[in-house]
Amino acid sequence: GAVVSQHPSWVICKSGTSVKIECRSLDFQATTMFWYRQFPKQSLMLMATSNEGSKATYEQGVEKDKFLINHASLTLSTLTVTSAHPEDSSFYICSAPDRDDSLNEQFFGPGTRLTVL
């Protein structure tokens, strides 16, 4: 099956610093990738849709200047959490559908656990 990787798997940073998370489709191409955030014992909340070669689409209430998304190639999307604060501590997960798969099943990355001190 299709594989999506994320890097890093976990990161601890100081308040006020920026953190970049990478999402890669390893064996397929993805024109669209999705970024989710999951707080403990809660559901996955969609943050934004990353579009290859164009601007990301953010969900209501998600600050685009704080969560920078870049989708420069068909296999890589990055999420940068700028000026991170403790309330940004969460589990960040990306997903991507295979653009050549008509079933449009989405494949999830393993997640990145961000802890902001």
Partner 1 sequence: GENVEQHPSTLSVQEGDSAVIKCTYSDSASNYFPWYKQELGKRPQLIIDIRSNVGEKKDQRIAVTLNKTAKHFSLHITETQPEDSAVYFCAASRGSSASKIIFGSGTRLSIRP
The three-state secondary structure class of 86 is: helix
Token pair, residue 9, equals 């798997």
The residue among 49 and 89 lying less far from partner 1, judged by its C-beta, is: 49
The residue among 31 and 82 lying less far from partner 1, judged by its C-beta, is: 31
With binding defined as CB under 8 A, does residue 115 bind partner 1?
no
With CB under 8 A as the contact rule, which of the stretches 12-20, 70-78, 79-87, 108-116 interacts with partner 1? 108-116
Which DSSP string do the residues of 30-64 spell out, in sequence order?
-SEEEEEEE-TTS--EEEEEEETTS--EEPTT--T
Give yes or no for a contact between 96 and 4, defined as CB atoms under 8 angstroms apart: yes
Interactions with partner 1, residue window 1-60 (CB under 8 A): 31-32, 34, 42-46, 49, 51, 60
Strand partners, 12: 115
Assign 3-state DSSP to the chain and report helix, strand, coil percentages, each to 5. 5, 50, 45
The residue among 1 and 86 lying less far from partner 1, judged by its C-beta, is: 1
Site residues, partner 1 (CB under 8 A): 31-32, 34, 42-46, 49, 51, 60, 91, 93, 95, 97-99, 101, 104-106, 108-111, 113
